[in-house]
Amino acid sequence: MWRPDEQAKVKAFLRLVARELADEAVAFAGVDDRGEFVRVEFYKGGGLAWAVEARLIRDESGNIVEVEPRERAGVVENQWKFEVLNSHFYNSPSAVAKRLTGLEVLSRLPEREVEWARRVFNMFFSECPLTLQLYGFFDRGTGEYVITRPDTPSPWINYIGQGGYGGFVSNTGGGYSFDRDARSRRVTRYRYNSVPDDQPGHYIYLRDEDTGEFWSPTWQPVKRELDWYECRHGPGYTRISSLYKGVRSSILYFAPPNPPHPDCPVELHVLELRNESDRPRRLKVWTYEELSYWDATADQTNLDWAQQIVFSYVKDGIIVAGVHFRPTRTFFASSEPPDGYDTDRETFIGPGGDLSKPQVVVVGSPAFSLASRGNNIASLSHRVELKPGEAKTIVYILGITDRPELIPETVNYYRSLENVWRSFEDLKKDWSQFLGKLRVETPDEELNAMINYWNAVQCRACLYWSRFVSYYYTGLARGIGTRDTAQDTLGVVHAEPQQVRRVLRTLWGLQFKDGRTWHLVFPLTGEGSMGHAVEMPWRPQWFSDDHLWLVYATCNYVKETGDFSFLEEVVPYQDDKSGASVWEHILRAIDYTLRKRGPHGLPLIGFADWDDTLNLDHGSETAESVWTGMLLCRVLLELAELCRARGDAEGAERFEKLHREMAEVINRVAWDGEWYLRAFDDKGRPVGAKGEKYHWVSLITQAWAAIAELDDPEREKMALLSAVKHLGTPLGLRLMRDPINSKKSGPDEVDYESLDRFGGTATYPPGLKENGGIFNHANAWAIIAAAKLGLAEVAYRIYRQTLPLARRDFDTMKAEPYVYSQNTAAPEHPMYGLSRNSWLTGTASWMYVAVTQWILGVRPCYKGLKIAPCIPEDWSGFRMTRVFRGVTYHIDVKRVGRGNKVRSIRVEGRAIEGDIVPLPPEGVTSVRVEVELGE
């Protein structure tokens, strides 16, 4: 058993760590029944924040000689006896805010305990199953990600809104809002890539009238050090709370899902103030919203015009901003009558001032300025007097409409707190319904946190905002991506089939009669484009994959829902508004790729394939993509399966034959001995071939070989293992090797030859993005391939390596740990480990699919739910609750032996043949499934 002297050491050490890392925490430590393991747990905000287990290895006399991170097996069965080490640690936020390194903790321990503690410490930092709270942690009780200090390495954002009115909010209140389209219907401004960063936002200033001191409860923009700070990002809402000299404040940001009138959407900022000091407080409160002209491009580029046409007025406490020539109005109001306002930015800020010390706040009284041109803001001022213990709530209402007559009614509605809280409940209900469609319980707590909350939240954000609006996407340049949105549907179709149907309809409407589609579209105007290709008119003006992704996503939708009627729906073409059925659209898409084939019989690459930067064609239309051939193979198999499900054997055979033919071509011309080539350039030279200087092995063709089912399992396996061998890093697989320019003679060498040969890839530095970076999106495909090939440990290892919630190196990673980033810098780059372009990435939906359908192996198919797990050997099993075609399946998988062979499946207690759980009889809405796994 755990000896008392050992216990004392653990306690001493934990106290130190806890005091530094948590502002309020309860720590437990325990030893298991057999005295072999120690486990320590930290609770914060009502939930387990993190825990770690270790095996105690003793010498013959029973002294601990080693502390080893505990293996995962058996966690569930063991009985733990816990004792409270120290309740409610409380320390000053300035200490929390201080950056802490392991060495600092160790340096405070008595010398003789350092070595022992170092081992425990290393264990915490490398093995603890939930994020250590240097900047924040996942709250298992609420599902929120809690950020405990404002100065995160980059703004850690969240989205509000349900795809209509919305925007993003950072952990310090930065961000902006718009209605549906950030370019064409902008509400507020945001200055990207500026100093200071992440401004402006939805700001509040508080001022103590007795001392004249002022601060921002969200830290920005005043940046006065707060006595306590916490940001809780939840699905569809963010709450930022803080304490400053006895004044506690909390601001809840969300967009109500059902405003009283759909033509007048709003967002709400609910400010709650509480006097926690023992003296009466006289406070002043100001808001700051910097309003944009609705056309955000003109707002930033045509200053001479945009700055002359805008004006604002105030009526009944409502600030309204607009122009003379159309009725579009932005408005801002509060639940409490204001005692003043400002709508002119320059007056509010004052000469030479900035957002950290606006003149109005410094002076302490509103200037009642009205912008009659220039820069419009919405600043309302309130006086709040609070006795000790007293609290006050003010609701702020920000919105946009083309029907100004709806503004008073909408504002009045949200002036009632009852309506506000009801709206918030509606929002929470909507999200919990969405998240409730698929829940998992596995031995991996971080996997559970991602699948049950943040990965799913991110999938929905991608569906709503595609690659349009984020901290990285400015909302001006690119609109909704066809291939991106098609892939985004994969992660949400089980939860929002109707929404996906609508999205697919819109995407099919981007197709031309010849079969190709627009690459991008602006959602509000319907204006399509070929994106980046337009800048290089000499290159092919089409992408080889956009239209195929639409076929893939459509088959996936029908498989999930059984809604074959969608295939009959008539959808217009871009160049023929009378349109045709979705099925006809599908056939045209396939024919386009079959028509556009090159010298080796592979699909032409066009401007690019999935990799936007692989621009191999200079206009001759001869460069070919091996990967597009693989995508085509997958899509053909999906179509064959769809035909069979519809009873169309002839159609199925046709697609199967086409699949065999393309697989044969790929195997004949693109096998390079140990892996598959990536492409052929327009001089017929292979890309991704052994012996090349740059780009001699590529990830995506190795992953897709298995996904495409090239009829050669040996090669498929060898290809994937080659990728793992040559492209692996501790943070996931690189997209290719060697990166272009990684062998330059010096910084001034310009490699025109590679630039000409590879196009966009060569513009990135070695190890970043598509130039050999760790591209997370493609890692999800590698996981799927590994699971398809039965390589459970490989699949799980790649999953863990790329899991943001498992990262501890926040200062290196910089991006949010609760969502996937598109890419992480590879070891070839000096900033190895830096993750960029978080939130809006195909990684979200593909990782979600990789885990739920391939590692956990619960896959929709036409006849029912297939159960084919591919889980690590040391997992004892898992549970999943999943809605499929209106039926809730409660699936309990238990490992009874080694390997991942499904030994038996019982449905409602009765054994079934095969591994497909059929749909239950009409009227049955819940089905219990027990699965035994292993030989």
Residues that bind ligand GLC (CB under 6 A): 467, 481, 483-484, 610-613, 770, 777, 822, 841-842
Q: In this complex, which beta carbon is closest to ligand GLC, that of residue 643 or of residue 840? A: 840
CB atoms within 10 A of CB 646: 15
DSSP 8-state assignment for residue 406: G
The CB-of-547 to ligand GLC minimum distance in angstroms stands at 14
Q: In this complex, which beta carbon is closest to ligand GLC, that of residue 381 or of residue 556? A: 556
CB under 8 Å to 421, separation ≥6 — which residues? none
The CB-of-460 to ligand GLC minimum distance in angstroms stands at 17
The CB-of-528 to ligand GLC minimum distance in angstroms stands at 15
| Of 685, 648, 406, 679, nearest in space to 544 by CA | 679
Q: In this complex, which beta carbon is closest to ligand GLC, that of residue 242 or of residue 822? A: 822
Question: Which tokens belong to 810?
Answer: 């926040």
The CB-of-399 to ligand GLC minimum distance in angstroms stands at 30
Count Cα neighbours of 916 within 13 Å in the Cβ-side half-sphere: 7
Q: How far is CA 90 from the centre of its chain?
A: 33
Identify residue 664 by its one-letter amino acid code. Answer: E
Kindly list the distances between the CA atom of residue 385 and the CA atoms of 211, 274, 278, in Å, as whole numbers in the listed order. Answer: 14, 10, 13
CB under 8 Å to 400, separation ≥6 — which residues? 165, 179, 185, 187, 265, 294, 328, 329, 330, 331
CB 492 within 8 A of CB 504: no
Identify residue 487 by its one-letter amino acid code. Answer: Q
The CB-of-107 to ligand GLC minimum distance in angstroms stands at 44
Q: In this complex, which beta carbon is closest to ligand GLC, that of residue 207 or of residue 777? A: 777
User: What is the enclosing helix (H) or strand (E) of 10?
Assistant: helix 4-21
Q: In this complex, which beta carbon is closest to ligand GLC, that of residue 331 or of residue 764? A: 764
Count Cα neighbours of 29 within 13 Å in the Cβ-side half-sphere: 20
| Of 416, 410, 454, nearest in space to 435 by CA | 454
Q: Is 612 marked active-site? A: yes
CB under 8 Å to 454, separation ≥6 — which residues? 138, 145, 805, 818, 819
Catalytic residue among 344, 612, 681, 738: 612
Q: In this complex, which beta carbon is closest to ligand GLC, that of residue 779 or of residue 841? A: 841
Q: In this complex, which beta carbon is closest to ligand GLC, that of residue 466 or of residue 900? A: 466
Q: In this complex, which beta carbon is closest to ligand GLC, that of residue 287 or of residue 841? A: 841
CB 49 within 8 A of CB 25: yes
The CB-of-797 to ligand GLC minimum distance in angstroms stands at 23
Question: Which tokens belong to 615?
Answer: 């621009």
Please give the backbone phi and psi of residue 426, each rounded to the nearest 5 degrees, phi first: -60, -40
Q: In this complex, which beta carbon is closest to ligand GLC, that of residue 93 or of residue 688? A: 688
The CB-of-782 to ligand GLC minimum distance in angstroms stands at 15
CB under 8 Å to 31, separation ≥6 — which residues? 1, 2, 37, 38, 39, 80, 81
Q: In this complex, which beta carbon is closest to ligand GLC, that of residue 579 or of residue 842? A: 842
The Cα 271–Cα 549 span in angstroms is: 44
In the numeric block, the tokens 């009801």 are attached to: 422
The CB-of-739 to ligand GLC minimum distance in angstroms stands at 15
DSSP character string of 486-551: HHHGGGTTTT-HHHHHHHHHHHHTTB-TTS-B-SEE-TTT--EE-GGGGG-TTS-SSBSSHHHHHH
The CB-of-778 to ligand GLC minimum distance in angstroms stands at 8
β-partners of residue 528 are 521
Angle between helix 626-645 and 546-561 (nearest 10): 30
In the numeric block, the tokens 């999930």 are attached to: 560
β-partners of residue 677 are none
Question: Which tokens belong to 493?
Answer: 């179709």
The strand ranges marked E within 245-280 are 247-254, 266-275
Q: Which residue is nearest to ligand GLC (CB)?
A: 612
Q: In this complex, which beta carbon is closest to ligand GLC, that of residue 467 or of residue 559? A: 467
Question: Which tokens belong to 724?
Answer: 């793992």
The CB-of-64 to ligand GLC minimum distance in angstroms stands at 49
The CB-of-573 to ligand GLC minimum distance in angstroms stands at 22
Pairing relation of β-strands 728-729 and 697-698? unpaired
CB atoms within 10 A of CB 9: 18
Region of residue 274 (phi > 0: left; psi between -120 and 50: alpha; otherwise: beta): beta
The CB-of-613 to ligand GLC minimum distance in angstroms stands at 6
The CB-of-924 to ligand GLC minimum distance in angstroms stands at 41
Please give the backbone phi and psi of residue 464, each rounded to the nearest 5 degrees, phi first: -70, -45
Q: CA angle at residue 445 from 442 to 447, to 5 degrees? A: 75
The Cα 804–Cα 801 span in angstroms is: 8
Please give the backbone phi and psi of residue 856, each rounded to the nearest 5 degrees, phi first: -75, -25
Q: In this complex, which beta carbon is closest to ligand GLC, that of residue 189 or of residue 678? A: 678
Q: In this complex, which beta carbon is closest to ligand GLC, that of residue 484 or of residue 716? A: 484
By annotation, the residues acting in catalysis are 612
